[in-house]
Structure 1
């Protein structure tokens, strides 16, 4: 039987919505239709609808009377949270609407079947006009990832002492994953999987991709794979344990994103010299493409606001970098003298970085904590090398970061997979390329 899942959509003291069709309150059996607002005031939740306001008890769940025809709309949903293209939009959804309270805000949750969820994820993470084989591959990995997260969440709840940050004198190692969510399975933003309901148009090709792979997941030794993916690996994929908790996943290993290793480059990218040559070069790779037709399959309109992703450059002034460290990391090291890669992963991504200042030094990791430290949103990746400019009395006035890739780089590379799909690779070949040793298994 196909599982139902709970997706956290938005988080706010007030949630405006529209019910298109009849919805039934699962506790009282009352039917609702039209526009309304849930508001949290002094720890009391009010529902205003059709000119009337009443106090309601949470959780408050509205289920469609007719699942095929009814839908609901949420107004002013924030997408791209903390990314450079963050914005608000109205979004529509199939399934049930559930309202809960978390601390000082309300949370709107969409409860729906897994494959209905995937119809939107595939169209939200990518373009609904992508190649059929790419869409099939993404259906399998998105389904696998979600089911693996549900299992992981159950395990974490049993343990009760799961930590994602370790801090000692002069060092902070932190990572970010879906275990931040305790009251639903996944969120709707890039933190988990991008999900924008039926707002994103689904094509016949998307529907066929989901239906033809229904119940199929990646497994390894009989367990569902925690199948990860990012926009662009930069030519080599990263290890799971270098980005999240230190638990090796054999199917999330180093993968050269090409039919054969590029010539003239060493792939020992944990070595600083080789990483520098790799990142400042432009080696052949599936994801090294500027083909607009292929990129349009993977990058939605707001994603295409990012022009460079395979190789990129960011300039930070001394003042900017001090301010970012103060506001994003919460440290004061004085004037920044140097940024030194203490440890790199197999893709060249920095996983431990030493920040040297005139007052003190501090080490940060893992990759997303590093990306957060040097951008108002996020750096495209932590695979970068540092060049110092305008050095006066030993203090650089500028830092030039030259980088590779977009995202954490673990698992499937979406742009690389799009190139593979356009080049005639089947979805099974795409999955076998990025997830070494994994099997494709029917689970429902």
Structure 2
């Protein structure tokens, strides 16, 4: 054994003694032990690690990377927060040496705000290396007294900079102990992964700063020097899509499997994988391999070998999950472990996900390797002529059915594999009687009426007390835990039963035309989203997409769909997702003043030009509704000539005591904070609202409305309680916390008084955020509030009851749509 090997063993022994010294005490000892004895100890600990997955916290780290305070802040911040939450967290730090443009700014902000790290006066010293003494302090703060963390270090050792492998292993061991019976991935979302690093901004213009292209996709690597590992297979720890820690190089001459060969020349080959292109030098001419799928072995920018695969299958995609795909007539085909998905529709290849494999469509080739799908090449854009709808159980409680019974008013055909059986009118098919015939190669039952024009009734589902009937065909799809039921039919016929389920056909034909066009636009967008591919559907039949066949089709809904055939709403040539709601207050809202940004959760968010606040009444307006005095006049006014004025929700009022409001707030606060911490902020000791965990404000003392949108909708509200004062952002959070619902046992239900004289009780959400408040006092003391409001729903886009009002005033469906979605055109979309 040479000297370097002895030193390496000794280093590992020191680390093992630290990590496994005691269950409640972590100790590093500096004396040199007997090498043979400690090697045996190390082996025992490795065996212990193998026997208990949760104890797996010693990593083979091989990296000469300095551990800066900034890098430590990144690891701590990602441990306790999702990447998106860190990115959108309010910036509270004011260090002179940390700027918002620095990669480490958001991590230092999170680590500081959450009390793990702090600076020295006005500076943080982000690039200063972490010492063993610094590490000791950080570990103690993270342990929070649950474990005693102690390093027996000399004064000289305390001042030394901690090595990267020591830091990673010590830190991960502590997280393993803190996670208890859970794995580190379950507790903190930190997972280990290996991949080939293909590109960084050093060799690719397709990547942004601190982005790396790999054979598994694009990941962030802020603060870690990764350029030296290009064209190597490496192992890392990940949190979300950000590299949490680098572990080691696994292969100097790696093989990248299932790449798309984008271009070739006599001495070069350009591949596309993981979202980036990369060109390698080659001693061979691979000109004939362009457009194929292949495995390549590489080394330092050169191609060592290439093997391509040409065996392919195709067909309509009927179901896709992470393990398999079902193609029509071919049954289930498994995905290879390293499968990759590409689209060559458009000017350049695209890196795809499973949702891009549109259900019901034959869109490309599936390349086979060892009888498994190793890659898919999407070659054409699907056209939504038909749509596949995954049907919920009774009450819209889930898409996995334990029983399926189907009948029809006419003869119908049940097909299982190649076998067809005719059932007579009134007979019923029960999946339980035929399930033994199903297998991986015959995973579904297909049912259609004999004429092709009749309807199939599902006896195992109820909608509004009746068994629903469906046009088109029904597929019963075998899943791991039960069955899904998928209704396939032309998209126009699908709309027959969407229109009456979303808008009363009593509103008349012209109103139904409006709903038909908006529903068609929405379905078009949802078809391409393909969110329900694991159930075999493009969409579902609930409010997650749009409600379908909860109310049966009517003559009016059929007429409306046919009169607007293929028409949708476009803005600048693209079909919009046409949002709508029940009833307006007399104004709609800017969408960005209603919803937080989907990607980064910031609020307010961007408002498209076609989703702006619009006046919904005729006559003189009330001035700027973002001002409280104007909003009060408007929402208490009952003589407005509004498009929605004939409907009870146009104006409403609710009275609740402080006790009732407190109960509602405290019952729902934890859930709303968890949904997006940035949108619930707590007043701290410095009188600054900051995002902090909160579950209870105590007894409500006062409500303050802080900010309104252009349409008068409340965007920000402050709730002052005996235990905490919070600022609540977005209309949904406000409405959900102030539920007009009785949470106090034994007390009368909360009553909503509507403008048409009717009442509602214990509503599950405040009807809208378009309201004002008036205090109720008794003997000079505040005892509660009365809410005077208008409308029902989020308030962005089209008011369905407003449509009826506009029709009554003589507007046609195109005029109405262009009123609610300004700047758009109603035109054929497919």
TM-score > 0.5 by shorter chain: yes
CA displacement, residues 376-419 of structure 1 (integer Å, 9 cap, x when unaligned) = 4222111122223246896x433322211011122221122112
Verify the 8 A CA contact 1:391 1:397 in the aligned structure 2: yes
Provide closer, same or farther for how the CA distance between residues 62 and 115 of structure 1 changes in structure 2, counting only shifts above 3 A. same
Verify the 8 A CA contact 1:257 1:287 in the aligned structure 2: yes
* Counterparts of residues 213-292 of structure 1 (less than 5 Å): 213-244=564-595, 245=597, 246-258=605-617, 260=618, 262-263=619-620, 265-266=622-623, 268-282=624-638, 284-290=640-646
Q: Secondary structure at the match of 1:90?
A: coil
Which of 492, 498, 501 aligns to 1:124? It is: 501
| 1:24 matched to 2:380 | no
Provide closer, same or farther for how the CA distance between residues 386 and 74 of structure 1 changes in structure 2, counting only shifts above 3 A. farther
CA displacement, residues 333-376 of structure 1 (integer Å, 9 cap, x when unaligned) = 10011233333222222233322211012333422232222224
RMSD: 3.2
* Counterparts of residues 354-373 of structure 1 (less than 5 Å): 354-373=718-737
* Counterparts of residues 104-119 of structure 1 (less than 5 Å): 107-119=484-496
* Counterparts of residues 142-221 of structure 1 (less than 5 Å): 142-151=519-528, 153=529, 184-196=537-549, 199-203=551-555, 205-221=556-572
CA displacement, residues 154-196 of structure 1 (integer Å, 9 cap, x when unaligned) = 6xxxxxxxxxxxxxxxxxxxxxxxx799754444334442322
Which of 751, 758, 767 aligns to 1:380? It is: 767
Verify the 8 A CA contact 2:643 2:806 in the aligned structure 1: no
Which of 423, 426, 437 aligns to 2:812? It is: 426
Q: Secondary structure at the match of 1:48?
A: helix
Which of 391, 402, 407 aligns to 1:14? It is: 402
Q: Secondary structure at the match of 1:14?
A: coil
Structure 2 CA distance for aligned equivalents of residues 95 and 322 of structure 1: 51
Which is worse superposed, 127-136 or 221-230? Answer: 127-136
Provide closer, same or farther for how the CA distance between residues 406 and 391 of structure 1 changes in structure 2, counting only shifts above 3 A. same
Larger radius of gyration: 2
Structure 1 position 221, deviation (Å): 0.5
Provide closer, same or farther for how the CA distance between residues 389 and 62 of structure 1 changes in structure 2, counting only shifts above 3 A. farther
Provide closer, same or farther for how the CA distance between residues 111 and 286 of structure 1 changes in structure 2, counting only shifts above 3 A. farther
The structure where strand makes up a greater share of residues is: 1
Provide closer, same or farther for how the CA distance between residues 53 and 442 of structure 1 changes in structure 2, counting only shifts above 3 A. closer
List gaps (5 residues or longer) in structure 2.
1-382, 393-397, 598-604, 671-694, 742-763
Question: Which residue matches 1:68?
Answer: 453
Structure 1 position 210, deviation (Å): 0.8
Structure 1 CA distance for aligned equivalents of residues 570 and 549 of structure 2: 27
Verify the 8 A CA contact 1:342 1:352 in the aligned structure 2: yes
Verify the 8 A CA contact 1:234 1:287 in the aligned structure 2: no
Structure 1 position 96, deviation (Å): 3.1
Q: Secondary structure at the match of 1:418?
A: helix
Provide closer, same or farther for how the CA distance between residues 317 and 56 of structure 1 changes in structure 2, counting only shifts above 3 A. farther
Verify the 8 A CA contact 2:391 2:485 in the aligned structure 1: yes
| 1:411 matched to 2:762 | no
Provide closer, same or farther for how the CA distance between residues 182 and 353 of structure 1 changes in structure 2, counting only shifts above 3 A. farther
Aligned residues: 378
Provide closer, same or farther for how the CA distance between residues 339 and 211 of structure 1 changes in structure 2, counting only shifts above 3 A. same
Verify the 8 A CA contact 2:532 2:539 in the aligned structure 1: no
The TM-score normalised by the length of structure 1 is: 0.75
Provide closer, same or farther for how the CA distance between residues 422 and 264 of structure 1 changes in structure 2, counting only shifts above 3 A. closer
| 1:337 matched to 2:688 | no
Q: Secondary structure at the match of 1:347?
A: coil
Provide closer, same or farther for how the CA distance between residues 16 and 180 of structure 1 changes in structure 2, counting only shifts above 3 A. closer
Q: Secondary structure at the match of 1:309?
A: helix
Structure 1 position 424, deviation (Å): 2.1
Q: Secondary structure at the match of 2:542?
A: coil
Structure 2 CA distance for aligned equivalents of residues 309 and 362 of structure 1: 29
| 1:316 matched to 2:656 | yes
Q: Secondary structure at the match of 1:284?
A: coil
Structure 2 CA distance for aligned equivalents of residues 88 and 181 of structure 1: 29
Which is worse superposed, 52-61 or 88-97? Answer: 52-61
Structure 1 position 56, deviation (Å): 4.9
Question: Which residue matches 2:375?
Answer: none
Structure 1 position 251, deviation (Å): 0.8
Which is worse superposed, 69-78 or 125-134? Answer: 69-78
Verify the 8 A CA contact 2:448 2:472 in the aligned structure 1: yes
Structure 1 CA distance for aligned equivalents of residues 796 and 454 of structure 2: 39
Structure 1 CA distance for aligned equivalents of residues 662 and 814 of structure 2: 47
Structure 2 CA distance for aligned equivalents of residues 193 and 54 of structure 1: 35
Q: Secondary structure at the match of 1:62?
A: strand
Structure 2 CA distance for aligned equivalents of residues 333 and 391 of structure 1: 23
Question: Which residue matches 1:44?
Answer: none
Structure 2 CA distance for aligned equivalents of residues 182 and 389 of structure 1: 52
Structure 2 CA distance for aligned equivalents of residues 399 and 129 of structure 1: 36
CA displacement, residues 218-245 of structure 1 (integer Å, 9 cap, x when unaligned) = 1001000121111111111112222333
Structure 1 CA distance for aligned equivalents of residues 495 and 665 of structure 2: 38
Provide closer, same or farther for how the CA distance between residues 249 and 334 of structure 1 changes in structure 2, counting only shifts above 3 A. same
Structure 1 position 124, deviation (Å): 1.8
Structure 1 CA distance for aligned equivalents of residues 607 and 492 of structure 2: 29
RCO (CA 8 Å, sep 6+): is it higher in 1 or 2?
1
